[in-house]
Amino acid sequence: MNKIILSIILFLFFLSPLYGQEKNALFSEGLNYYYSGNLERSLEAFEGFLKLEPNNDQALFYKSQILWKKGQKARAISVLEKVITLRPDRLFYLYKLADFYTLTGDKGKTINIWKTIKRNSPGDLRPYYALADLYYSQGKTGDAISELENAIKISSSVSAKIFYRLGTLYLEKEDISKGIDYLNKALLMEPDNLETCLYLGDFFYTHGNFSKAANYYIKVISLDPYKIEVHKRLAFIYYLRKEYNNALLHFEKLTRLLSKDSSSYYNLGCIYYLKEDFISAQEHFTMAIKLEPLKDKYHYNLGCIFFKLGDYDSAHKEFSRSVELSPQKEKYIYALGCINYLLKDIKDTMKDFNLIFHEKDDLYSFLGRGITYRDRGRVDIPLEDIEI
């Protein structure tokens, strides 16, 4: 009997190195095939390894990744969950499982995984960020805020991104004071953060506080001079303030950035008109028409320039074209009637104004009727507004 036992021990003693070599070879083969993209051979090697060592967490982990890549998502999750039961101390596996559930769209299970990570790693901020995003995607803005504010409490080294996110969330809840406070904290940490400056600029712009919006937009332009929409909004703010030279600077920048954009030239024409530089206005309206010849207001505004310059024939041509493009627009018909009146064409003047009378209490109707039946007085034709 002792001889039999001794024989078995000697057999295992000599076999164990070979057994270990086989396992190592299979694991190495699985890795090589995995990273070279041969998933079938990699899976075959790892499954061979797992027959020899069925509870090896690393081999099981790679098996789960292969199954996921092969589209076998349920099996991949099942294998990875087994890995976690074997090695609950390795957070890396939990992170991967959270990724799997995120990609499957199962928000409930994803939340549970991140809660587990948070319990197991209390100083790690990533679960707080992830949970905040998940709660927000479910419409639970209050819970999202709570996660981020808890992250601030547990760590003194939070990034400006948390303050930025809290600021945007509070503004969405219309808690303006807290929202602006958090965004300003983000800017204190990162004063040259383009995203924060742009968000604050847009917020104040959409809420009609153009003065504060301009301050942030100026900062945005200093950080990125190619922000098209910001140039447009700054130009509009300066236009409203009647700071026409500043408005010109931004509209001119837009013509350089968008050389084929007709509206930039049109807007420059409007500003030059307000500065009473009618020749420059004419040049820019003409360029706008060249780029977009079927835009009614471009022809109308060019007609207004010719009217100001006393070139009634050219004004008549442009107003006629604007009426052709928009035959129902009374403002254009009125302008054409005024020019016909100034050209002493009473018949066409009456024809134009009769189109807009219709027994309506309309300013253009009464004014048109007035200048039609009198042989004196100053005709005024208002310009169309800028495009933003």
Whether 82 and 1 map to the same domain: the answer is yes
Give the 3-state secondary structure percentages of the chain, helix then strand then coil, rounded to 5. 80, 0, 20
Whether residue 301 sits in one domain with residue 284: no
User: What is the mean predicted confidence (pLDDT) over 225-239?
Assistant: 96
Residue 377 has pLDDT above 60, yes or no: no
7 and 25 inside one domain? yes
Answer yes or no: are the C-beta atoms of 267 and 387 closer than 8 Å: yes
Residues 303-326 as b/e (b if ≥16 CB within 10 A, e otherwise) read: bbbbbbeeebebbbebbbbbbebb
Q: Which pLDDT tens digit goes with each residue over 158-172?
A: 889 999 999 999 999
Residues 388 and 299 grouped into a single domain: yes
Number of domains in the chain: 3
DSSP 66: H
Q: Are residues 289 and 299 in the same domain?
A: no
Q: Could you tell me if 313 and 339 lie in one domain?
A: yes
CATH of the domain at 68: 1.25.40.10
pTM above 0.75, yes or no: no
pLDDT for res 307: 92
Where in the sequence is the domain holding 380, given as residue range(s)? 295-388
Q: What is the mean pLDDT of the chain?
A: 87
| pLDDT confidence bin for 193, thresholds 50/70/90 | very high
Which residue, among 384, 379, 387, 388, has the nearest Cα to 274 in the 3D structure?
384
Q: What is the per-residue DSSP string for 23-35? A: HHHHHHHHHHHHH
In a domain, 150, yes or no: no
Reported as a single tens digit per residue, the pLDDT across 118-150 is: 998 888 889 999 999 999 999 999 999 999 999
Report the SS3 class of residue 218.
Answer: helix
Q: Are 304 and 359 in the same domain?
A: yes
At 8 the pLDDT is: 42
Determine what percent of the chain is predicted with pLDDT higher than 90. Answer: 72
Q: Looking at the domain assignment, is residue 123 inside a domain?
A: no
Per-residue HEC secondary structure of 322-338 comes to: HHHHCCCCHHHHHHHHH
35 CB neighbour count, 10 Å cutoff: 9
| pLDDT score of 16 more than 60 | no
Look at residue 137 in the predicted model and tell me its pLDDT: 93
Residue 167 included in any domain: no
Portion of the chain with pLDDT greater than 70, in percent = 86
How far apart CA 177 and CA 236 sit, in angstroms, is 27
Tell me if 253 is assigned to some domain: yes
Mean pLDDT computed over 31-41: 94
pLDDT in tens, 259-271: 999 999 999 999 9
Tell me which of 72, 87, 102 is where a domain ends.
87
219, part of any domain: no
Distance between CA atoms of 148 and 5, rounded to whole angstroms? Answer: 64
User: Which residue, among 183, 189, 185, 188, has the nearest Cα to 202 in the 3D structure?
Assistant: 183
* Same-domain pairing of 283 and 353: no
Whether 115 is in a domain gets the answer no
> Is residue 334 situated within a structural domain?
yes
337 and 357 both lie in a single domain: yes
DSSP 383: P
Tell me which of 87, 115, 133 is where a domain ends.
Answer: 87
Residues 257 and 332 in one domain: no
* Domain endpoint, select from 65, 87, 109: 87
pLDDT tens for each residue of 268-289:
999 999 999 999 999 999 999 9
The verdict on residue 243 lying in a domain is yes
> How do residues 53-76 score in pLDDT, each as one tens digit?
999 999 999 999 999 999 999 999
Q: Between the CA of residue 200 and those of 63, 170, 176, 210, 298, what are the distances in Å?
A: 48, 13, 11, 11, 34
